[in-house]
Protein backbone atom coordinates (compact mmCIF):
# COMPACT_ATOMS: atom_id res chain seq x y z
CA UNK A 1 0.00 0.00 0.00
CA UNK A 2 1.30 3.44 -0.91
CA UNK A 3 1.93 5.83 1.95
CA UNK A 4 -0.19 8.93 1.42
CA UNK A 5 0.12 12.21 3.27
CA UNK A 6 -2.79 12.44 5.74
CA UNK A 7 -4.30 15.26 3.63
CA UNK A 8 -4.77 12.85 0.74
CA UNK A 9 -5.59 9.86 2.97
CA UNK A 10 -8.63 11.67 4.44
CA UNK A 11 -9.93 12.59 0.98
CA UNK A 12 -8.31 15.97 0.33
CA UNK A 13 -10.11 19.27 -0.06
CA UNK A 14 -13.60 17.77 -0.32
CA UNK A 15 -13.46 15.92 3.02
CA UNK A 16 -11.62 18.73 4.80
CA UNK A 17 -14.14 21.31 3.65
CA UNK A 18 -17.07 19.19 4.88
CA UNK A 19 -15.28 18.50 8.14
CA UNK A 20 -14.56 22.16 8.88
CA UNK A 21 -18.13 23.22 8.02
CA UNK A 22 -19.56 20.47 10.29
CA UNK A 23 -17.13 21.54 13.01
CA UNK A 24 -18.03 25.26 13.00
CA UNK A 25 -21.76 24.46 12.88
CA UNK A 26 -21.21 22.86 16.27
CA UNK A 27 -18.82 25.52 17.58
CA UNK A 28 -21.44 28.18 16.79
CA UNK A 29 -24.00 26.37 18.94
CA UNK A 30 -21.74 25.30 21.80
CA UNK A 31 -22.36 27.28 25.01
CA UNK A 32 -18.66 27.17 26.04
CA UNK A 33 -17.36 28.22 22.62
CA UNK A 34 -19.82 30.49 20.83
CA UNK A 35 -19.20 33.47 23.20
CA UNK A 36 -15.56 33.82 22.05
CA UNK A 37 -16.17 33.27 18.30
CA UNK A 38 -17.57 35.78 15.79
CA UNK A 39 -21.26 35.41 14.88
CA UNK A 40 -20.36 34.85 11.26
CA UNK A 41 -17.94 31.93 11.13
CA UNK A 42 -17.34 31.89 7.37
CA UNK A 43 -13.96 33.66 7.50
CA UNK A 44 -12.88 31.58 10.49
CA UNK A 45 -13.82 28.42 8.57
CA UNK A 46 -11.96 29.61 5.47
CA UNK A 47 -8.76 30.12 7.50
CA UNK A 48 -9.18 26.80 9.29
CA UNK A 49 -9.51 24.97 5.94
CA UNK A 50 -6.28 26.62 4.83
CA UNK A 51 -4.56 25.77 8.11
CA UNK A 52 -5.64 22.13 8.33
CA UNK A 53 -4.65 21.58 4.69
CA UNK A 54 -1.04 22.37 5.54
CA UNK A 55 -1.22 20.72 9.01
CA UNK A 56 -2.06 17.45 7.22
CA UNK A 57 0.71 17.73 4.67
CA UNK A 58 -1.19 19.38 1.80
CA UNK A 59 -0.27 22.68 0.15
CA UNK A 60 0.77 25.49 2.56
CA UNK A 61 -2.37 27.53 1.87
CA UNK A 62 -2.49 29.19 5.28
CA UNK A 63 1.11 30.39 5.26
CA UNK A 64 0.91 31.69 1.68
CA UNK A 65 -1.84 34.08 2.76
CA UNK A 66 -1.20 34.73 6.46
CA UNK A 67 2.47 33.91 7.12
CA UNK A 68 3.72 31.74 9.96
CA UNK A 69 0.72 30.27 11.84
CA UNK A 70 2.04 31.15 15.36
CA UNK A 71 -1.12 29.47 16.56
CA UNK A 72 -0.62 29.91 20.27
CA UNK A 73 0.09 33.62 19.84
CA UNK A 74 -2.98 34.05 17.60
CA UNK A 75 -5.10 32.49 20.37
CA UNK A 76 -3.78 34.74 23.15
CA UNK A 77 -6.55 37.36 22.73
CA UNK A 78 -9.02 34.65 23.80
CA UNK A 79 -9.33 32.87 27.15
CA UNK A 80 -8.62 29.28 26.16
CA UNK A 81 -9.45 27.20 29.24
CA UNK A 82 -9.23 23.40 29.67
CA UNK A 83 -13.06 23.35 29.47
CA UNK A 84 -12.96 25.17 26.13
CA UNK A 85 -10.24 22.87 24.79
CA UNK A 86 -12.40 19.85 25.67
CA UNK A 87 -15.42 21.50 24.02
CA UNK A 88 -13.38 22.24 20.86
CA UNK A 89 -12.26 18.59 20.70
CA UNK A 90 -15.82 17.31 21.29
CA UNK A 91 -17.06 19.43 18.35
CA UNK A 92 -14.25 17.98 16.23
CA UNK A 93 -15.08 14.37 17.19
CA UNK A 94 -18.74 14.95 16.30
CA UNK A 95 -17.75 16.55 12.98
CA UNK A 96 -15.48 13.58 12.20
CA UNK A 97 -18.41 11.25 12.93
CA UNK A 98 -20.68 13.32 10.68
CA UNK A 99 -18.34 13.14 7.67
CA UNK A 100 -17.54 9.47 8.29
CA UNK A 101 -13.84 9.91 9.05
CA UNK A 102 -12.73 6.61 10.58
CA UNK A 103 -9.80 4.30 11.20
CA UNK A 104 -6.13 5.03 11.70
CA UNK A 105 -6.14 8.21 9.63
CA UNK A 106 -8.82 9.65 11.93
CA UNK A 107 -7.03 8.43 15.07
CA UNK A 108 -3.72 9.98 14.07
CA UNK A 109 -5.31 13.27 13.01
CA UNK A 110 -7.40 13.46 16.17
CA UNK A 111 -4.46 12.61 18.46
CA UNK A 112 -2.44 15.46 16.94
CA UNK A 113 -5.37 17.83 17.47
CA UNK A 114 -5.51 16.84 21.15
CA UNK A 115 -1.87 17.90 21.56
CA UNK A 116 -2.40 21.14 19.62
CA UNK A 117 -5.55 21.96 21.62
CA UNK A 118 -3.68 21.40 24.90
CA UNK A 119 -0.93 23.71 23.66
CA UNK A 120 -3.52 26.50 23.07
CA UNK A 121 -4.65 26.55 26.73
CA UNK A 122 -3.64 29.92 28.21
CA UNK A 123 -6.14 30.38 31.11
CA UNK A 124 -7.14 28.08 34.01
CA UNK A 125 -10.77 27.09 34.57
CA UNK A 126 -12.58 29.24 37.16
CA UNK A 127 -12.04 27.97 40.69
CA UNK A 128 -15.32 26.96 42.31
C1 LIG B 1 -8.82 31.00 15.40
C2 LIG B 1 -10.63 29.38 19.58
C3 LIG B 1 -7.96 25.36 19.19
C4 LIG B 1 -6.69 26.72 14.73
C5 LIG B 1 -9.51 30.91 16.59
C6 LIG B 1 -10.37 31.95 17.11
C7 LIG B 1 -10.87 31.51 18.27
C8 LIG B 1 -10.34 30.18 18.51
C9 LIG B 1 -11.82 32.24 19.22
C10 LIG B 1 -10.64 33.31 16.44
C11 LIG B 1 -11.74 33.14 15.43
C12 LIG B 1 -11.90 34.37 14.57
O13 LIG B 1 -11.78 35.50 15.08
O14 LIG B 1 -12.14 34.20 13.37
C15 LIG B 1 -10.06 28.15 19.85
C16 LIG B 1 -10.31 27.36 21.04
C17 LIG B 1 -9.54 26.25 20.95
C18 LIG B 1 -8.82 26.32 19.68
C19 LIG B 1 -11.26 27.70 22.18
C20 LIG B 1 -9.46 25.15 22.00
C21 LIG B 1 -8.31 24.57 22.32
C22 LIG B 1 -7.42 25.35 17.92
C23 LIG B 1 -6.68 24.26 17.35
C24 LIG B 1 -6.32 24.65 16.10
C25 LIG B 1 -6.84 25.99 15.89
C26 LIG B 1 -6.41 22.94 18.07
C27 LIG B 1 -5.54 23.93 15.04
C28 LIG B 1 -5.45 22.62 14.95
C29 LIG B 1 -7.13 28.00 14.54
C30 LIG B 1 -6.85 28.78 13.36
C31 LIG B 1 -7.46 30.03 13.56
C32 LIG B 1 -8.10 29.97 14.86
C33 LIG B 1 -6.04 28.34 12.14
C34 LIG B 1 -7.43 31.24 12.61
C35 LIG B 1 -6.23 32.10 12.97
C36 LIG B 1 -6.21 33.38 12.16
O37 LIG B 1 -6.91 34.32 12.51
O38 LIG B 1 -5.47 33.42 11.16
N39 LIG B 1 -9.52 29.84 17.46
N40 LIG B 1 -9.17 27.48 19.05
N41 LIG B 1 -7.51 26.37 17.02
N42 LIG B 1 -7.88 28.73 15.42
FE43 LIG B 1 -8.50 28.13 17.22
Distance 64 CA to ligand 1 centre (A): 18
Q: Is residue 112 part of a domain?
A: yes
Q: Is residue 71 part of a domain?
A: no
pLDDT for residue 128 is more than 90: no
Q: Is residue 59 part of a domain?
A: yes
Question: Given this model, what pLDDT does residue 127 score?
Answer: 74
What is the ipTM for the molecules in this complex?
0.98
- Distance from C-alpha of 40 to C-alpha of 100, rounded to nearest angstrom: 26
52: domain CATH number is: 1.10.490.10
SS3 59: coil
Question: Given this model, what pLDDT does residue 3 score?
Answer: 83
Q: Is residue 77 part of a domain?
A: no
Question: Given this model, what pLDDT does residue 126 score?
Answer: 87
pLDDT tens-place string over residues 28-66:
999 999 999 999 999 999 999 999 999 999 999 999 999
Q: Is residue 110 part of a domain?
A: yes
CB of 99 shorter than 6 A to ligand 1: no
CB of 44 shorter than 6 A to ligand 1: yes
Question: Given this model, what pLDDT does residue 1 score?
Answer: 56
Residue 61 belongs to domain spanning = 9-65+83-120
pLDDT tens-place string over residues 60-104:
999 999 999 999 999 999 999 999 999 999 999 999 999 999 999
CB of 74 shorter than 6 A to ligand 1: yes
Q: Is residue 128 part of a domain?
A: no
Q: Please list, in sequence order, all residues whose beta carbon lies within 8 angstroms of the beta carbon of residue 65, skipping any fewer than 6 positions away.
A: 50
The CA distances from residue 8 to 25, 35, 56, 98, 122, in Å, are: 24, 34, 8, 19, 32
When divided into structural domains, the chain yields a total of 1
Amino acid sequence: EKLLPPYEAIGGEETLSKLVDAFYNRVGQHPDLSPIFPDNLSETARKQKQFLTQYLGGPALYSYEHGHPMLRARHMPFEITPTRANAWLSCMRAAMDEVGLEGSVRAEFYNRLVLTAQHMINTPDEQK
